Amino acid sequence: MSAGFSAVQWNRRKLIYDGILIAGVVLFIGTFMTLGALRNPPADMPAWINLRIKAFGTCAFVMLTIVLTIGPLARLSPRFLPLLYNRRHFGVLTFLVALVHAYSVVDWFAVQGATADLMNEMVASPGYGKFIGFPIKALGLFGLTVLFLLAATSHDFWLAFLTPRIWKTLHMALYVAYGVLVMHVALGLMQENRRIFIPIFLGGSFALVALLHIAAAWREREAAQEHDRWLVVGAPDSIPEKTARIVTAPDGERIAVFRDGNQIGALTNLCAHQNGPLGEGCIVNGLVTCPWHGYQYRLEDGCAPPPFTEKLATYRVRLRDGVIEVDPNALPPGTKAAIHIGPA
């Protein structure tokens, strides 16, 4: 990427965030294993490995739940945007934690000389035709495979190679993996532990992810009220300073309405680079900055600063009766459309 774009992939803040993330994982797993060992001291090596399986598995599931909440949280409040900017690293670390969990399962069978039993359960189990009794390790392997594919394709090279549409479709498989892993955890834990905490934990995690996505979508739907065919955004102050509110046009197109002091402008939510979610970014040094790769555009006309040539579609905005409204019909890329509303 040219030096003309503000770097958002690697910087001091991001390194600190990653350090805190790793420390949190270590603390979670260490605390889990310590409390587990104090409550029920492992008598042999398989018991220690079983404790490791539970610790890393629980940590991976909690991390995956958090990953899926970051997107809607960032749409509901700009305070969560720092989490969004680091979501890829969070996802890769989640895969690594899940990989250790899977390795520990194999290790448990190997220590007892029962590797053949593991293979037989995966390949020839009669439980594939049932719900209760379905081979949970097959569910876990499916989820781990999806996490591997997403971690392996998280680099920008794969975004360009696969094209943004295919890449985004592939990464939507994370929701499928999450549903499968909920079943993996439920069928695994609830067979040996009938405490009410387990279904509450799983059901609560699933409900949290679902409700946050519904809330974010509902907020965008409320923001998309029409007034003389213009979309109602809200009072100028309802648009957070140097960030955006996203409204959805009747045709489903998402529009990012940014405020930079007394200037308000509306741009397509799709970054010209690789279709990144522009409205989840912020204004840096006077330029709208995409959270994925730091590509930048002028708010007034959607043009990247020279010498770059990328242009975004813009939308007409107006202030009517103290309310910002946006015309859902896109203007040609690079058209000046931002307005000034007086001192902010």
How many other CB atoms sit within 10 Å of the CB of residue 258? Answer: 26
Residues 212 and 233 in one domain: no
Per-residue pLDDT at 247: 87
Stronger pLDDT, 263 or 117, i.e. the higher one:
263
Question: Of 221, 241, 263, at which residue does a domain stop?
Answer: 221
Residues 205 and 249 in one domain: no
Per-residue pLDDT at 5: 40
Which of 34-43, 169-178, 217-226 has the least mean pLDDT? Answer: 217-226
Query: What is the pLDDT confidence band of residue 343, given thresholds at 50, 70 and 90?
Result: low
Per-residue pLDDT at 66: 94
How many other CB atoms sit within 10 Å of the CB of residue 73? Answer: 17
Stronger pLDDT, 109 or 9, i.e. the higher one:
109
Residues 179 and 30 in one domain: yes
Assess whether pLDDT exceeds 60 at residue 6.
Answer: no
281 domain-assigned: yes
What are the angstrom distances between the C-alpha of 331 and each of 75, 170, 208, 326, 327? 24, 31, 38, 12, 9
Q: What is the mean pLDDT of residues 229-253?
A: 86
Per-residue pLDDT at 50: 92
Per-residue pLDDT at 4: 39
Residues 234 and 196 in one domain: no
Residues 246 and 190 in one domain: no
Residues 294 and 197 in one domain: no
Assess whether pLDDT exceeds 90 at residue 252.
Answer: no
Per-residue pLDDT at 198: 77
The dihedral over CA atoms of 20, 26, 28, 29, expressed in degrees to the nearest 10, equals 160
288 domain-assigned: yes
1 domain-assigned: no
Domain of 77, in residue numbers: 12-221
* CATH at residue 239: 2.102.10.10
7 domain-assigned: no
Stronger pLDDT, 296 or 159, i.e. the higher one:
296
6 domain-assigned: no
pLDDT for 62-103, tens place per residue? Answer: 999 999 998 888 778 767 777 776 788 899 999 999 999 999
Assess whether pLDDT exceeds 70 at residue 193.
Answer: no
Residues 214 and 262 in one domain: no
Question: Of 221, 247, 279, at which residue does a domain stop?
Answer: 221
Residues 129 and 199 in one domain: yes
Contact status, residue 182 vs residue 202, Cβ threshold 8 Å: yes
310 domain-assigned: yes
Residues 194 and 266 in one domain: no
Q: How many domains is the chain built from?
A: 2
Contact status, residue 122 vs residue 154, Cβ threshold 8 Å: no
Residues 61 and 127 in one domain: yes
